[in-house]
Structure 1
Amino acid sequence: MSHPSPYQRARSPEQKEERRRHLIDTARSLLLEIPDVHDLGINELARRAQMTKSNVYRYFESSEAVLLDVMVEEFAQWHTELVKALSRGGKRSGTIEHIARAFSATAAARPLLCRLTSIFPSILEHNVSAERLQQFKHGLLAVRKQMALDFHGCIPSMSTSAFDRFLHHAVPLMIGLWPLSHPAEVAAEMLGRPELAALRYDFQRDLEEGLMLLLRSLASK
């Protein structure tokens, strides 16, 4: 696929969308290479996208804005995979256990989503405009409402509002468990000691357990 010259300004809506798409795809490729999402800066993004820094700023106000767009796409793709996983449950599809397992397994299969989710309230929302943040929040809310409907379709005995509360608490679980289950090298080495085994976290296993506890609590109300 050929990309537009870095010195030629996009004028039509199609050209502008092509450049925005190119920047997001480039950012995604970079994020798969670098260990820390904080290392994604506009300078490096511009270099890899073969665009000038000023041209990048025509499409994104900051590196955080780029990461938010990548995160939105990751959430959309995860939602599609989650719906497929929910439908594969057979007789188990109408159980709390199946929902928790499908949720945790599909989330764990998208480490980039988990990495971005773990920092979006503390990092990604701090250097973007109110307009962009409002757009992001409304998009996030729309996905959450649709997911609540999807879960309600699996277990009609639980209300959509109950599943909305479930998701309200599930996101903080993801935010906290990802860094805990991916500690720094020195911390990981320390946690390898037998006497500290109780402090180890496994993202998929612990997320599934936490989700089941949440669902059982909501189902009993």
Structure 2
Amino acid sequence: MTTPEPFQRARRPEQKEERRQHLLDTARTALRGGMEVSELGLNELARQAQMTKSNVYRYFENREALLLALLEEETAQWSVDLGALLAAAPRVTLEQIARAFAGSSAAHPLMCRLFSILPSIIERNVSPERLTEFKRNSLALLAGAAEQLHRAAPALPVAAYLSFMRQAIALMIGLWPLATPAEALAGVLAQPELRPLRYDFESDFASGLLLLLRGLDSATTSK
């Protein structure tokens, strides 16, 4: 088998975007294949992408900046998938929103995984400029999702759905690592008497989301 040629320095805008996307796709493939985030340094990324490390730095200031960009792509695709699920339902209830939200999230494990380390790892080692860009993109995503949910189930106002989105992400960040324990802990939790301490991401997430939605519905109705 022929070894692929290393990427040369890109000069045209479309070449630069091609290289940037190649790096993101390489990182996505590695992480989906089971690689730990801690193992995905820029040296390893450069090796797998057939690029020099100095070339990688032209597109991402560090690993965390790369992970932010990857999370943005994953959440954008998740939003499209959630919209498709809601559009397919003839009448959307709060229960259906909770199930669709949890199901579409579970179908994007890399997104959940990245969200779970966002505040503790990723956001702690990125420039203020990149963080500002990311937060503005996140705000636009939250607003867009809130509008999408309101169109599907207008019983709740957009402001309530925006609050729901903020709390849903916080719940995801906490629940994902609990539901995906390390191998040693998973073995311990397999003991029958420890069953109450096990978490199932999709079902527990759906339950928590439904509680949030019902609470917001109650608060809206009582006003």
TM-score range, shorter chain: over 0.9
**Alignment partner for residue 205 of structure 2, among 185, 207, 212?**
207
Listed one character per residue, the Cα deviations across residues 156-191 of structure 1 (whole Å, up to 9, x for unaligned) are 121100000111110011011110001111111111
Listed one character per residue, the Cα deviations across residues 68-115 of structure 1 (whole Å, up to 9, x for unaligned) are 111100000000000000112223x1x100000000000001111111
CA distance in 2, matches of 1:182, 1:35: 15
Which residue is equivalent to 2:129?
Answer: 131
Which residue is equivalent to 1:117?
Answer: 115
Q: When the two structures are aligned, how many residues end up with a matched partner?
A: 216
CA distance in 1, matches of 2:199, 2:100: 19
Change (3 A) 1:106 1:67: same
Which residue is equivalent to 2:149?
Answer: 151
Structure 2 residue runs without a partner (length 5+): none
Which residue is equivalent to 1:17?
Answer: 17
**Letter aligned with residue 46 of structure 2:** A
CA distance in 2, matches of 1:58, 1:115: 26
Which residue is equivalent to 1:196?
Answer: 194
Report the TM-score when normalising by structure 1.
0.94
Which residue is equivalent to 1:217?
Answer: 215
CA distance in 2, matches of 1:130, 1:102: 34
SS of the equivalent of 1:220 reads helix
**Letter aligned with residue 63 of structure 1:** R
Which residue is equivalent to 1:100?
Answer: 98
Once the two structures are TM-superposed, the CA of residue 33 in structure 1 deviates from its matched residue by: 1.7
Structure 1 residue runs without a partner (length 5+): none
Once the two structures are TM-superposed, the CA of residue 135 in structure 1 deviates from its matched residue by: 0.6
**Alignment partner for residue 170 of structure 1, among 168, 171, 182?**
168
Report the TM-score when normalising by structure 2.
0.94
CA distance in 2, matches of 1:58, 1:157: 48
Which residue is equivalent to 1:67?
Answer: 67
Change (3 A) 1:198 1:17: same
CA distance in 2, matches of 1:111, 1:171: 14
Show structure 1 runs of 4+ deviating over 6 A: none
Listed one character per residue, the Cα deviations across residues 131-165 of structure 1 (whole Å, up to 9, x for unaligned) are 11111111011010010001111221211000001
CA distance in 2, matches of 1:143, 1:56: 27
